[in-house]
Every structure is written in structure tokens, then in C-alpha cells.
Structure 1
Amino acid sequence: MTGNEEQQANHLQNAIEKEGDRAFLSRIFGWSMLGLLVAFLINNVLDVGYDYPGVFAAFGEAASAAAWLQVAICLLGIAAAVALVMAYPRRSLRYEAHLIHSFNVYFIRALYWSVFLVGVVDATLSFMRVESFIEPLMGEAAARNLARANWIGTWIHMPLIVLGFIIAYFTRTLGFVWLALLIVVAELLIVISRFVFSYEQALMGDLVRYWYAALFLFASAYTLFDEGHVRVDILYASFQRSKKGVINAIGTILLGITTCWVIVGISFNGKQSIVNAPVMNFEVSQAGPFGMFTKYQMAAFIALFGITMLIQFVSYFFDAVADKRGEPGHRDVDTSAAH
């Protein structure tokens, strides 16, 4: 967000604080979704990394203290949401939507920086493996380590991801445009190397697919904020703003948030789930050492898509309820291209 947008949001908050009721139930619902999301991710780490039995085990015959601890973590997530709403009883829905969206913007920006850094470094290492440059330059031990996906994932990818989050904190660019440009450049290099120099390696296609997946899956949440998703509209455009708010709020709960929870739930459903299993094993493509070691991250992109969309849908829900309540600060967006 720019400085002017921050000032506008703060001014809006100060103006709305003079009103009375702050839609407690809507705020508690929205923040509870985020609290449960954090709790769910913590429990997933406990399930996969420490062999905890899972929340549902607490209600079975083999209930244990570990399972009830995981239940307590979920309840703590909801309690934290309620405490937050009670601590700021006069905070406006618009302002909270702005806060949540701002965090999501940072999170997505950090993901883009991470995939950029990982993509460049991993493609370079893959090229060096294919052309047998690593051992002469770095030695036999380095060549052996850099041919192992788990070693690269732990000691190269993870630090680069952390670096991406640090860089994103000090930047204000989302990265949609430049990542799309990099994809075009990567595709162009494939065409030139294939048809001009008759040279092609698996890493080149892997890099394009890696960046493509990140571009579309991570851009989806910001597209929701910008009303860029296709809306099949027959009656909606003719509704008043308050009625649109009702429709958007109901649709967000029944379709948006529900769908996101299904995606996140399936993604992290035990050690052998579609995300946990590849990530735990640092899964690689069929090209093996001749390609990039990023397939496990592309599996994680599915879960990150659900997470970023869930966060954005909570922000969207707050804005929709604010429209229903007639709160000032409505953001007009040209949606003609999305209808």
C-alpha cells in the first residue's frame, strides 16, 4: 500500500470509530477463520513432523493428551480471534479488511521473491550438473551434495526463501509484471537455444513451469481484491451497493471460504497428502538430476493458493459486510472486464 492509501485508511478508521456497533459477529467470524488457519498449520507440523495423532483422534477411542493438545490449539485460535475483536471493539470493517489485505500483499510479494531467487539459483545449479561443472569448480563433496534434492532443499532453497521474505519487507512491488516478463524471456531462450543452437535441457522447461505455476496461483488472491475474476452476471450489476454486499458476503462464506478450506484440508490431510508427501520427500521431476529440484515446491503451491485465497476472502467478506452496513470508504473498481 502507498503512503496515501495508508493515510486514507487511518483517516477512515478515525471517522468510523465515532459510530456505535462494530459488527462483532462478522468480525469474530472472519478473524476466527484466520485463527483456525494458523492453528491448522501448526497442527499439521505436529502431525507430520512429530507424529501427533491429529485433532479428530481426541474424539475416538484412542484419545490421548497429544490429541487434546491439538484441540486446545484450535480453541486457542478462536479465542485469540475473539480477544482481538474485544480488544478493538470500535475498529471498522474497512480498516480490518485493509489490514488483512496488506498482510496478504506482503505474503504474496514474499512468495514471488522466493520463487524468483530459487528459480534462478536452482536452474543455474541444474545447468552446472548437466554440464559437469560442479566437481571441477567446487570439488567432489559439493558435487555429491548438489545432486541430492534434500540437501539442496534444506541448505539452498530454504535460506533463499527466507531471503525472499526479508527482501519483500523492504519492497513495495508485487511482482506480477516482472515475473510474467521473466517467463516470456525464459520461453524465448528455449526457442532460441532449441531452433538456433539445437540445445535444450530439462531445466529450461522446469523453470518455465515453476514460474508459471507461481504466477497464476499466487496472483489469484490479488485478482480477487481487484475484482478481476470472471463474474457470470445476470442480475448483480443492477443491485444497490447494500444488496451487493449481502450477495458477496453470503457467496464468500458458502463458496469462497468453504472452497479454500477444502483445498487446505486436502493438501494437509496427513503425511501422505498431496502436499505433505512431496514436501517431506523433496520430490523431484522425472528428469531427476538433469532438471530442477523444485517439484516439491510446486506441490506446496496448491496449499499456498488456498491459504492466500482464504486470507483474501476474509478481507473481501469484511468489505462486503461493510457495504451492507453502508460504511464509508467503498472502493470502486472497474469490473467490466470481469463480467
Structure 2
Amino acid sequence: MSTATDGAYADAMGADAYRPGTAVIRTFGWISVTMAFAYVINNFLCFWLEWPGVFALIAEPRPTGTGLVLALLQTALFVLSIVLAIVFVTRSPSRNLRADAMAMAAIANFVVRFAFWSVLLIGLVDAVISFLRVEALADQLLGAELGTELGRSRFRGPFVHAPMLIVALVIAARSRSLGFHWLALLVVLAELGIVLSRFVFSYEQAFQGDLVRFWYGALFLFASAYTLFEDGHVRVDVLYAGFSDKTKGLINAIGAIFLGLLLCWTIMILGMWNQSSIINSPLLAYEVSQSGFGMYVKYWMAGFLAIFAVTMCVQFTSCVLESIANYRQEPGAREIAPSAAA
């Protein structure tokens, strides 16, 4: 875990906020964050609610009536995301770069908390349902009609998984722990359960392996933003360790912009450009594994990529602001524990 000197972030007001270029850098940062969320919302409107999209305004034939209104609303969504960023910066001229960087990190952490509780609840509930179905208990306990419906991914998704998202959102809003740390323990326990059931009770079902893969994929992708915040990613640059803090700040800012943000936007654009894209296609089809009695969560694993891209985009933007503050040698720099930076 990282440690900061007492009051390092308490003083968000100061002369550093009025240095040349601060407003421009902050505006760039917040536009990067708001545009990422606007893109995801627009993707949902286009492919789940079947709105026409922004490009419908320049396509032939042009939309009319309700279609035109919806296309204009989607365009306004992107414009609003930019306007909100500019308004926030202009109305808070005394905030420095480090204050905004920490705020962005908090946003990424909230998304990760929400994602963690989502996969925890969905994983547990779906595993129980799969167990009941494979043991022919679903019809007896839940009724023949509901038991049959639970065998359809298009029913289980909106009527079982979606309510778990609402519960996860409430828990994430009230909890301050990131939570994903526990996924490592859950993966171990799930794997241990497979070993015990296989070698002690000679029992093994597809849903057991699905649960391990589901939680392990979430652990790997959800923890990336937090690892970036703690500077815990492995570096292969042998020269970086010898650089001064100022030079490190410059290198990190350039890398976060041209490598980090570019990667995140590449994933979002290619993964959510149309219905057949690698993220949208499984989600729209409620894609599941070929095993009939396995867990119906394969489509969520495609969504993990979207969570990864969005949280990393926000965290890379936070890294840009913090790195520029380090380059400008502004006070209040975080102290990264050696174990995290190793």
C-alpha cells in the first residue's frame, strides 16, 4: 500500500493551481474521463436501446422524427461531456493537479468496487443455479416453468444477473474497500473446492471450472487500475530507475498519453464499434459456454474488457496529471512503498 505524508492531499488549494497551463491540463484530463463514460453510455444506447447513433446525422438516408431527436440527443451527450469538464475546471480554478488526480483515482476505484461486487454476487448466484440444474433440483424447488427459463441465457441475464448489478451498485456506494483483493482468496477457495470434490467425493461439474475462470478473469482485469495507481506494474526499462523524480514524471506522462490512453481507446473503439465487435457481440447475444449445465457468465467476461479499458483510461488520465505535477515539482507527491514499486 502507498503512504503519503500528513496533509499531502489536504491542501488542494494553492499557488500551484494558478501556474501556467494548469487549467489546460486539467481540462484535458476531465474531458478524457467524461468522454470515456460518454462513449460507453452511447454504446449502450446504440446497441441495447437501438438508438440511431451520432453518425446517423451524416448518413443516408437521414433520420427523421423520433430517430432524428434520438441522434441529436446522442450527439448532445458527447458535447455535454466536454462542456461539463470545462465548466468544472473553470468553476474550481484553485484546484491543483494532484487534487484532480486523486479524484480520478477515486472514480476508477468506485468502478472497480462495483465490478467486484457484481462478479461476486453473479458468480455465487449463477453457480447455485447451475448446481440445481445439473442435479435436476431446479424444477422441484423452483417449479418446472421457472426451471426451464433458468436454462435460457436470455432469461437468466436480465432477470437474475441484472438485479445483482443493482445490489452491487448499492454495496459499492456504501463500501470503501476496493474488494478485489478478496477475489484472489475466492479463486483459491473455488479451486480448492474442485480438488476436494474431485478427489474426495469423485464429483466434478463444468460450472466449478467456469466459476474459477470467471473470478480469475475479473481479478486480473479489475486489479490493473489499482496496480497502476500503486506503480506496481513490472517495468522493463533498465534506465528508469536511475532517472530523477522530475524526469520520471515526464516519462510517465508521455507514456500514459501515447501508450496507455491510446491502448484504452483502441480497446473501447474496436471492442464496441458495432454489433459484431469483440465486446458487444457476446453481450448482445448473452453468449454462454458450450456446456449445457455450465455457468451462464461467458458474456460477462467480454464485459470485463470494457471495465478494464474504462478504469485504465481513468487511471492513466490520473497518472498524466500526477506525473506532470511531479515534473513541475509541485508539493504533496505520494510516497510509493518499496514493495509496491518493486
TM-score (norm 1): 0.92
Counterpart Cα distance in 2 of 1:186 and 1:14: 48
Counterpart of 1:279, as a letter, is L
Counterpart residue number, 1:43: 42
Cα deviation 1:2-32 (Å, max 9, x = unaligned): 9x98983652213457755461111111111
1:157 aligns with 2:161: yes
Q: CA deviation at 1:337?
A: 6.8
Aligned amino acid, residue 29 of structure 1: F
Aligned pair count reads 337
Q: Is the 8 A contact 1:228 1:335 kept in 2?
A: no
Which residue matches 1:331?
334
* Match 2:83 to one of 79, 82, 91: 79
TM-aligned CA distance change 1:201 to 1:242, over 3 Å: same
AA at the equivalent of 1:145? E
Return the alpha-carbon distance in structure 1 between the equivalents of residues 111 and 5 of structure 2: 18
Which residue of structure 2 aligns with residue 239 of structure 1? 243
Residues 17 and 95 in structure 2, CA contact (< 8 A), matched pair in contact too? no
CA positional deviation for 1:172: 2.4
Which deviates the most, 42-51 or 130-139? 42-51
**Shift in Å, 1:141:** 1.7
Distance in structure 2 (CA, Å) of the matches to 1:247 and 1:198: 55
Cα drift, residue 34 of structure 1: 1.3
Closer, same or farther: CA 84–307 of 1 in aligned 2, 3 Å = same
Aligned counterparts, 1:240-259, within 5 A: 240-259=244-263
Please report how far the alpha carbon of residue 275 of structure 1 lies from its aligned counterpart in structure 2 after TM superposition. 1.6
Distance (whole Å) between structure 1 residues aligned to residue 290 and residue 142 of structure 2: 26
From the superposition, tell whether residues 149 and 118 of structure 1 become closer, same or farther in structure 2 (CA, over 3 Å). Answer: same
Answer whether contact 2:180 2:222 (CA < 8 A) is retained: no
Deviation per CA, 1:85-123, whole angstroms, max 9, x where unpaired? 111112111111111111211221121111111111110
- Give the Cα–Cα distance (whole angstroms) in 2 for the partners of residues 57 and 17 of structure 1: 44
Equivalent-residue separation in structure 2 for 1:71 and 1:14 (angstroms): 35
Match of residue 12 from structure 1: 11
Taking the TM superposition and a 5 Å limit, the aligned residue runs for 1:68-107 are: 68-107=72-111
Partners of 2:130 and 2:88 in 1: how far apart?
47
Q: Aligned to 2:306, which of 303, 306, 314?
A: 303
Q: Given residue 41 of structure 2, which amino acid in structure 1 is its aligned partner? A: I
Out of 173, 178, 200, which is 1:174 matched to? 178
The worse-fitting range, judged by mean Cα deviation, of 119-128 and 194-203 is 194-203
Unaligned residue ranges in structure 2 (runs of 5+) = none
More helix, by proportion:
1
In structure 1, what is the Cα distance between the partners aligned to 2:177 and 2:206? Answer: 30
Partner residue, 1:198: 202
After superposition, the CA RMSD in angstroms is 2.4
Change (3 A) 1:7 1:240: closer
Shift in Å, 1:70 = 3.2
Letter of the 1:13 partner, please give it. Answer: A
Q: Distance in 1 between matches of 2:19 and 2:340?
A: 38
Aligned to 1:130: 134
Q: Is the 8 A contact 2:197 2:204 kept in 1?
A: yes
Letter in 2 for 1:84: F
Q: Deviations over 1:240-278 (max 9, x none)?
A: 222211111111110000100001111211112112121
Task: Name the counterpart of 2:297.
Answer: 294
Which letter does structure 1 place at the counterpart of 2:174? F
Is contact 2:4–2:335 with CA below 8 Å preserved after alignment? no
- Mapped to 2, the partners of 1:335 and 1:56 lie a distance apart of 49
Instruction: Tell me which moved more, 100-109 or 58-67.
Output: 58-67
Using the TM superposition, give the Cα deviation of residue 237 of structure 1 relative to its aligned residue in structure 2, in angstroms: 1.9
C-alpha contact (below 8 Å) 1:246/1:324 kept by paired residues: yes
Q: Gaps spanning 5+ residues in structure 1: where?
A: none
**Maintained 8 Å contact 1:22/1:91:** no
Contact 2:8–2:333 (Cα < 8 Å) also in 1: no
Alignment CA distance shift 1:44-1:337 (3 Å): closer
Q: Which has the higher contact order (CA 8 A, sep 6+)?
A: 2
Provide the C-alpha distance between the structure 2 equivalents of 1:296 and 1:271, rounded to a whole number of angstroms. Answer: 14
Change (3 A) 1:219 1:337: closer
Tell whether the 8 Å contact from 1:53 to 1:67 is kept in structure 2 after alignment. Answer: yes
CA deviation string 1:263-310 (max 9, x = no partner): 11112111121121211221111112x011111101100111101100
State the distance in 1 between where 2:339 and 2:6 align: 29
Cα shift at 1:182: 1.1
- 2:113 corresponds in structure 1 to 109
User: 1:202-235, CA deviations, whole angstroms, 9 ceiling, x for partnerless residues?
Assistant: 0000000000000000000000000111111222
CA 1:203–1:163: 2 relative to 1, 3 Å:
same
Counterpart CA distance in 2 for 1:22 and 1:12 is 20
